[in-house]
């Protein structure tokens, strides 16, 4: 079965489509996610020879990360699921970060801004962090087994090792997850860590589309 891989949690977009024969990919796409996501998905469909209705399995990086990017990714999956029911495997961005490391790591960090950081720790046997929390930046002490995005190496200089995220690592991490980690498409939500951020599906947001 073809599987779509979507990561809109960062400033650039990554989209891939794995078939039995190959892995079609578009990585580090510049531009606004709402402008590039659907055209890139169309290119993947044409390149792979599949139809849009064949794309029933999605691996989605659901955060923490870009507030807007996460909402665009989740809303896209919800819209597709409304037409063709989908199975979705959510992958958090901190576990993905660790999966890209060339060495063993027991902690991953992402800049949460406002002097805070997202921290992932307590990794399970499948390579997924069991604890994801937010901490003050000043609370981090140097640790050789901690990783961060290469784009944030200046922020975490001396306290984390930079790594570059690739689509292949997302595919490998997804393959390691158990079958019961997959959910229905409409159940996908952004993974926020701050208590002040909330998510509502499009149908529950104020909109003229849903006025009685």
* Chain segment 31-63, per-residue pLDDT in tens: 999 999 999 999 999 988 898 899 999 999 999
| 95/203 Cα distance (integer angstroms) | 30
Q: Give the model's pLDDT for residue 205.
A: 52
pLDDT for residue 1? 84
List of residues 6+ apart from 145 with CB closer than 8 A: 103, 104, 105, 106, 107
Proportion of the chain above pLDDT 90, given as a percent = 80
Q: End-to-end CA distance of the chain, in Å? A: 40
Q: What is the pTM of this model?
A: 0.89
Where does 3-210 sit in CATH, by number? 3.30.420.40
Q: How far apart are CA 153 and CA 201, in angstroms?
A: 34
Cα–Cα distance, 51 to 153 (Å, whole number): 40
Kind and range of the H or E run holding 87: strand 87-92
Looking at residues 59-74, what average pLDDT do you find?
Answer: 95
Residues contacting 178, CB < 8 A, separation 6+:
126
Q: Across the strands, what pairs with 63?
A: 92
Q: Which of 102, 151, 94 is nearest to 124 (CA)?
A: 94
| Domain locations along the chain | 3-210
Peptide bond into 178 cis (omega under 30): no
Q: CA nearest 90: which of 210, 20, 186, 156? A: 186
């Amino acid at each position: 079965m073809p599987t779509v891989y979507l990561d809109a949690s960062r400033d650039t977009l990554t989209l891939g489509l794995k078939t039995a024969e190959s892995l079609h990919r578009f990585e580090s796409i510049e531009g606004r996610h709402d402008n590039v996501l659907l055209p890139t998905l169309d290119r993947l469909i044409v390149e792979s020879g599949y139809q849009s209705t064949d794309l029933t399995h999605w691996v989605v990086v659901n955060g923490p990360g870009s507030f807007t990017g996460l909402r665009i990714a989740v809303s896209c999956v919800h819209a597709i699921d409304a037409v063709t029911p989908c199975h979705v495997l959510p992958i958090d961005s901190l576990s993905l970060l660790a999966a890209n490391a060339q060495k063993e790591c027991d902690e991953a960090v992402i800049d949460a801004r406002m002097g805070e950081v997202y921290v992932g720790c307590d990794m399970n046997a499948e390579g997924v962090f069991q604890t994801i929390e937010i901490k003050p930046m000043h609370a981090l002490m140097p640790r050789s087994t901690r990783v961060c995005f290469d784009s944030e190496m200046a922020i975490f200089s001396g306290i984390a090792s930079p790594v570059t995220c690739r689509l292949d690592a997302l595919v490998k991490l997804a393959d390691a997850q158990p079958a019961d980690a997959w959910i229905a498409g409409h159940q996908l939500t952004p993974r926020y860590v701050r208590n002040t951020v909330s998510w509502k599906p499009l149908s529950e947001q104020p909109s003229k589309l849903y006025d009685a």
